[in-house]
Structure 1
């Protein structure tokens, strides 16, 4: 196995990971922990900034309600404030030792806006994939120009890089189709 091939696969895996995280933040009208788990809040008097997933358990009570239970009850107000300040269109309500977030139904117009946003995120993922491909192809051609590899090896490596890029692009398309189906469900 070629080290270049492993490096390309690692970079493309990172692109997919970033894209999945990015797409999970797009609201579908259904309650999911992904809507708030990466929101960063200032806690303990603003001295520390942490993700909600590091400060609390995040669960789904029903299709329309996210339930957040802080590990430390003294920061419940700061978590609520952080969600409000994150401008993600959700209104957290403190309910005893928990924070409840009701997810409103999406209008058809809002669904179309979210689909458009999601497609932009997918396109950004494809652009990142193309950048990784371009870097790999440039490195392969440089190795060939320096006589470090033969023409046969260069062609094989280019073919392998293209195959891996095609797989990732296909996975990006599949992610997009799944998310679009979720957005269109009522």
Structure 2
């Protein structure tokens, strides 16, 4: 039955890593190449992330410079950024695309902090679902005694609490980063 806790640990780690990936996509007013991680464009018939076909550099702290390895994909990358939910306006100069990351307004900061909280809540829901699966697996096991079941339930709750604290810490750190002027 220790296997149940190992499987739960693995699934909960996946939920936390998914949360961290989602939090990376939130703008904080500082240029960061991970802002474009979820932006894909059609490259020879298949959706491709921009970071696989171009170098992305942070210039002067508030600007991203995207230099595609294949110049023919410049227009497609520009179009993908324009239509994405990143909220940045690409400037194409024929060789590179520049993205100016503006400072965030107080209203936009609060909105992004809410998004961070929403991502955190989704991660907690995923963790709670894993906990529920583990509890059900323990209840169905006929070989365990009542005392063993109670002990396993306590262990599952400890693991769940640990991951919920991790989620809370990640979300509050991101909210602090967003709200910092």
TM above 0.5: yes
1:59 corresponds in structure 2 to 57
Which string of whole-angstrom CA distances, capped at 9 and with x for unpartnered residues, describes residues 69-95 of structure 1? 222222121111111111321111124
Measure the CA separation in 2 of the matches of 1:62 and 1:142.
59
RMSD: 1.6
Task: State the Cα deviation string for residues 134-174 of structure 1 (Å, max 9, x = none).
Answer: 1111111111xxx2222233223222221111111111111
> Structure 2: how far apart are the matches of 1:167 and 1:161?
10
Unaligned runs of 5+ in 1: none
Count of aligned residue pairs for this structure pair:
181
Matches within 5 A, 1:153-164: 153-164=148-159
Match of 1:23 in 2: 23
CA distance in structure 1 between the partners assigned to 2:87 and 2:125 by the alignment: 28
Displacement of 1:183: 0.9
Residues 71 and 158 (structure 1 numbering): CA distance in 2 closer, same or farther, change over 3 Å?
A: farther
Is the 1:33–1:58 contact (alpha carbons within 8 Å) kept by the matching residues of 2?
yes
CA contact 1:37–1:58 (8 Å) conserved in 2: no
Q: Which of the residues 139, 142, 151 maps onto 1:141?
A: 139
SS in 1 for 2:73: helix
User: TM-score, normalised on structure 2?
Assistant: 0.92
Greater shift after overlay, 163-172 or 149-158?
149-158
Over 4 Å off, 4+ runs: none
